[in-house]
Amino acid sequence: MKQLTITANILFLTLLLTACAPDTEVTPSQNSALNSISNSNAHSKNGAMQQSLNSWLKNEWEPTVKEDKKIQKKYMKKEKTFVEKEDSFTLQEYVDKAAVYMKAHPNDYNSSNVHKLESLPAIGK
């Protein structure tokens, strides 16, 4: 059951991180008349979900992951921060960091959605 919960958390975090990725900017046209009426070269601000994700990464994820000695030795020497990281990362690196984060912030089973669903009369056990 614990392995299923960890797998579900990793899947949720992966979906959350990929769903909040900012859109790439469109290359502006060489046509000055088109650029004057188009928003293609305007810089857009991040939405609320992206801002929330960035603050969570900065305030919760990074401090928790940086405290772990194994992660520091294995991954932290090559990166600035998780958000500003220029090098590509492996799935194993993400899984290792997620395991460290989940160990430091354990979920309470009684307040989890799994427990709530299992307690429903038609759906639950």
Please state whether the predicted TM-score (pTM) of the whole model is above 0.85: no
* Residue 110 within a domain: yes
Q: Report pLDDT digits (tens) over 25-65.
A: 555 667 777 777 766 555 567 889 999 999 999 999 999 98
Mean pLDDT for 10-23 is 66
Domain of residue 88, residue span: 47-125
Structurally, how many domains does the chain consist of?
A: 1
* Residue 7 within a domain: no
Mean pLDDT for 58-74 is 90
* Residue 17 within a domain: no
* Residue 23 within a domain: no
Mean pLDDT for 105-116 is 82
* Residue 57 within a domain: yes
Tokens 């709530």 belong to residue = 116
* Residue 8 within a domain: no
